[in-house]
Amino acid sequence: MSEWPGIHKRDLSKWTAKTGLSIQLLDELTKTASNDDGTDGGVDLYIVENIDTKTLPKQILLSTWEYGTGHCMTLYLLQRIGSQFKKVWQSEENLCTESVLGAAKSQAMPDGRIIVRFREYSARFDPAKEKGPVVLRVKITYKREGSTYSIAGRTERPEPQRR
């Protein structure tokens, strides 16, 4: 994808304006996060969803979406070690959403939790009983367990249907 370097630079520029962090630092964070996550040939096609350098004690939350029409999110936790960064955790769950429902959003909490919110279609949708697909508002909570994070809860609630 020949236009990717420009797209990546514009994305990092947006986050520089939003966070006050330098493009070089953001580039280093994204490269550290995507290192060893199975990307092909060092070309990482993603858009940054969130960078939070302040909320989690001694760690940075970075979440990215795969580039394209789908919205698959990966969460990363990075830690500064001297003048470099180290990836200390990466989500393993499939955090993909339907494009028409919008992308997932992540948020770090002061107590160390990470919250991911998104919309999805109910797997229990019965077209014989319901007029249209049921959309759920989903919240996944990650909680620190030692040196890693795991899912501590998932809540779903139906989104009010528009008339």
45 vs 26, higher pLDDT:
26
pLDDT in tens, 76-126: 999 989 889 999 999 988 788 877 788 889 999 999 999 999 988 887 666
Dig out the tokens for 161 from the structure: 């249907």
| The pLDDT of residue 120 | 86
Q: What are the residue ranges of helices labelled H in 20-152?
A: 23-34
pLDDT, position 39: 46
Average pLDDT of the residues of the chain: 85
Identity of the amino acid at 122: S
Give the C-alpha distances (Å, rounded to integers) separating 71 from 16, 17, 49, 58, 87: 22, 23, 10, 28, 22
* C-beta atoms surrounding 31 within 10 Å: 12
How many CA atoms lie less than 13 Å away from 43 in the CB half-sphere?
10
- pLDDT at residue number 130: 62
pLDDT in tens, 116-158: 999 888 876 665 666 666 788 999 999 998 888 999 999 999 8
